[in-house]
Amino acid sequence: MNAIELLKQDHEKVSGIFEKLEPTTERGLKTREELFTQLKQELDVHAAIEEEIFYPAIKDADETHEITLEAYEEHAVVKRLLKELAAEPKDTEEWKAKLTVLKENVEHHVEEEEGEMFPKARKVLGEDQIEQLGERLEAAKQQKTSAAAG
């Protein structure tokens, strides 16, 4: 599997979860908690495989160095927000507001990856490398998803 396509599929999946989660209310606490758990797992696994496999493959190239460093920082912000959201009661207006901030951060990150990082990564990496990275990403994703579920 192509690494960039795999990462884009993850982006679409996360976007779909946000679409279901955002309209939930304090009354729909069980649904909100289930969707948030799903969202957190997807984002945790996605960030981990990017940081362990994809970003190191493109970090040292001049074209992708700066945007990769920025992506690591964006991940740090998302992780902090996820941790705070996980720890707080999910039936408050504050939780909902923080979720909105998380969504905005994730959307910005996705726009930068898909609009700038991925096109530059295609230039830095050959198609063979992108395919090999995709296989590594897919294997790591399966392993982390199983570990999180188990």
Residues 6 or more apart whose CB falls under 8 angstroms from that of 23 comprise none
Q: What is the helix (H) or strand (E) element at residue 79, kind and residue range?
A: helix 62-87
The burial class, CB within 10 Å (0-12 / 13-18 / 19+), for 125 is buried
Identify whether the C-beta of residue 140 lies closer than 8 Å to the C-beta of residue 12: no
Domain residue extents for the chain: 3-149
- pLDDT at position 26 over 90: no
61-96 per-position pLDDT tens digit: 999 999 999 999 999 999 999 999 999 999 999 999
Q: Global pTM?
A: 0.94
Residue with tokens 């995709």: 134
Tokens, residue 43: 């984002």
What pLDDT is recorded for position 27?
85
